[in-house]
Structure 1
Amino acid sequence: MRMKSLLTLFGLVVMAACTSVERAALPKPEVLAGNTWSQSAKPPGQVVDHRPWTAFLARHVRPDAEGVNRVAYAKVSSRDREGLDRYLAALQRVQTDRLTRDQQLAYWINLYNALTIDVVLDAYPVVSIRDITDSPLPVGPWNQPVARVSGQTLTLNDIEHRIIRPIFDEPRIHYALNCAAAGCPNLMARAWTAQKLEADLAAAEYAYVHDPRGLRFDEQGRLVVSKIYAWFREDFADTPEGVLDYLRSVAGPELEKQLAATRRISGYDYDWSLNDQAQRVQ
């Protein structure tokens, strides 16, 4: 029993060290130069048609028995793929400074998620999105050019770390952006819209915090949380203790009691396997 506890502790230490390295490698949230990304319009702004994205998601996204929304990548027809391509082309023609701030955030979330699906479909079948890379290392596709908006070529990292994070200063975007991993917060089965933005962000936040992907207690009663809270800690709080306070603030009554008795975060975890329906069946 003592040996098992020591091995578990060693595993947590190694995991924490790896998480620190991953955190250091992430881009800092700095506004992308060369454009007016932070400029927005007054209401009513401009309507962007996200219905094609909702239709795609409704056909191909289903929750598994554990509540993980999975994508039927293998069942995406050529017709659906063409529809996705048209939607992405339409988004890239949008002049973002004509959108209200809420319209912009919904736009960028939908663009990021749709581009991620498109990248996976281009490479499918794959075990993990991190395998989609030109590098011998599993670094993923996040630095590859994937879109052109307002005359500027963008990567997925540009959209997340150089537009969304620094401009909107909204920690809950981490529950909205989906990186095609099973450990990620769910890919919503409909498009994000300005009208439902606040309600959907709150619902996604609550759902992830109350899901084992977000946080869980191991066999020894230690708190293990998603690596999201380490990678993007400064978006949630200044310190790990602050992250714990944040989680308490989101938790429902039962979980809040458990967290109230918890002094610290003991480990971090994340499942990088593809959020693929076919992989779940195998």
Structure 2
Amino acid sequence: MPRLPTLALTAVSALALLASPATAQDAGAVDAQFATFTPSAEPNSDKIDYSIWDEAMKNLVVSMGPSLREGAGSPPPSFGTRRQYGHVSRYRLEGSRLMFSFLDAEIIASFTEYRKDLEATADKVDIQKLSRNEQLAYWINLHNVAMIEQIANAWPVRQPREIEVGGVPLNDAKFITVEGIKMSPRDIREKIVYKNWKSPSVIYGFWRGEIGGPSIQREAFNADNVARLLDRSARDFVNSLRGTQKQGDTLQVSTFYEEAAPFYFPDFEKDLREHLARYADTETSEILAATSDMKAAVSEHDIADLAGGVREPTYQNIQSPDGVSQSFRIPQSMTRLLAQREQKFQKIIREGRTGTVTFSNIKLPGDPEDKDTGEVE
């Protein structure tokens, strides 16, 4: 696998210490700090270059393809042992995976370097005066870089929610610093993006490191592609088994939606159904129509990597298809997972499920002058 290069931004934090118990007044003052990140009403045309992160994602992320709405069966144990290594989740063939098990110390250190570069960019570029799409891309990329960095540091780990940074759960650890303000991944989502963007599509940009959440994309977000990537991620998740399921007369949805409910789905069932209908394919639309109740009951906290968050002691030699390139060794459980992935892709081809065209940031003949061309509200 190509080594991740030294990371730096062309456009031009330490871990947060555990604080003493804060009063409600103190908490309010801390939250008020985030008002500084309210987008300006007069944006400029500055841009941030994420080409290095784009290259990294293309090398590190493996797509498992669209959901077939079929739960994967229990895999057999590894050869020579009764222990079950690798992924056992019924959702293991959905979403995307990051190759944490192949990362060495130098690559992991480069994630930290890049996260700090993104933080420092806000000291040289007025983030609040960028276009709304440019700002949104910045916050999503910073959040996801920080999550990947910390999961890589903690790997092997079965579930990202087990990770702590400075004794604080990863989701709430304030190890990110922007313009002198310490923040957690949750702060970026809830106190900056969810507070300032009206479109619920933004929830699909933030990667949690779990199989049960939205996929991480194989390209970095930027002002030009953020609307397209959010739409792609939303459709992938809404039409997946880990996003929506039918259980009798009940529409079971991911518990992922509960966090976003206060911001985007205050009337949870009504608002969420309307949201899901916007992205639903034919099969999901039929599920929506055939259910009268809703329950947030679907979850999967296992890590979204290829190895299942463990180091397996048994390996297999893999030879390139051309028989010329050098062979390499990967765990047996990973070999099985990739074989199941290939079988799934062959089924998709046989059933003619391929072929998706997405248009973004274009004007078509006859469009009104004020037509939205890709800005995420």
Q: Do both proteins adopt the same fold according to a TM-score greater than 0.5, normalized to the shorter chain? A: yes
User: Structure 1 residues 236 and 250 mapped into 2: Cα distance closer, same or farther (>3 Å)?
Assistant: farther
Give 1:185 deviation, angstroms.
0.6
What RMSD over aligned residues (CA atoms) do the two structures have, in Å? 2.6
Equivalent residue in structure 1 for 2:146, among 99, 110, 115: 115
Greater mean alpha carbon deviation, residues 246-255 or residues 265-274: 246-255
Partner residue in 2 for 1:276: 305
1:126-141 to 2 correspondence within 5 Å? Answer: 126-133=157-164, 140-141=169-170
Identity, % of aligned pairs?
Answer: 24
Partner residue in 2 for 1:238: 266
Aligned pair 1:186/2:185, yes or no? no
The aligned amino acid for 1:249 is R
Equivalent residue in structure 1 for 2:107, among 77, 80, 96: 80
The aligned amino acid for 1:94 is T
- SS across alignment from 2:121: coil
Q: Distance in 1 between matches of 2:206 and 2:61?
A: 15
Aligned pair 1:228/2:227, yes or no? no
* Residues 249 and 290, structure 2, Cα contact 8 Å, conserved in 1: no
Q: Distance in 1 between matches of 2:242 and 2:264?
A: 17
- SS across alignment from 1:112: helix
Instruction: Give structure 1 stretches of 5+ with no counterpart.
Output: 1-29
1:86-165 to 2 correspondence within 5 Å? Answer: 86-95=113-122, 96-133=127-164, 140-165=169-194
Aligned pair 1:48/2:48, yes or no? yes
Higher helix share: 1
Q: Distance in 1 between matches of 2:180 and 2:41?
A: 19
Instruction: Give structure 2 stretches of 5+ with no counterpart.
Output: 1-28, 66-92, 310-332, 335-377
Q: Distance in 2 between matches of 1:102 and 1:227?
A: 27
Equivalenced residues, count = 251
Report the TM-score when normalising by structure 1. 0.80
Aligned pair 1:70/2:97, yes or no? yes
Give 1 or 2 for the bigger CA radius of gyration. Answer: 2
Give 1:71 deviation, angstroms.
0.9
The C-alpha deviation readout for 1:108-149, integer Å capped at 9, x for no partner, is 00000000001111111111111112799xx73122122211
Report the TM-score when normalising by structure 2. 0.61
* Residues 176 and 185, structure 1, Cα contact 8 Å, conserved in 2: yes
Q: Which has the higher contact order (CA 8 A, sep 6+)?
A: 1
1:242-253 to 2 correspondence within 5 Å? Answer: 242=270, 243-253=272-282
- SS across alignment from 2:156: coil
Give 1:212 deviation, angstroms.
0.7
Hey, which bits of structure 1, 4+ residues long, moved more than 6 A? none
The C-alpha deviation readout for 1:132-185, integer Å capped at 9, x for no partner, is 12799xx73122122211121221121111111101233112211011011011
User: Structure 1 residues 101 and 279 mapped into 2: Cα distance closer, same or farther (>3 Å)?
Assistant: same
Q: Distance in 1 between matches of 2:37 and 2:296?
A: 36
Give 1:37 deviation, angstroms.
0.4
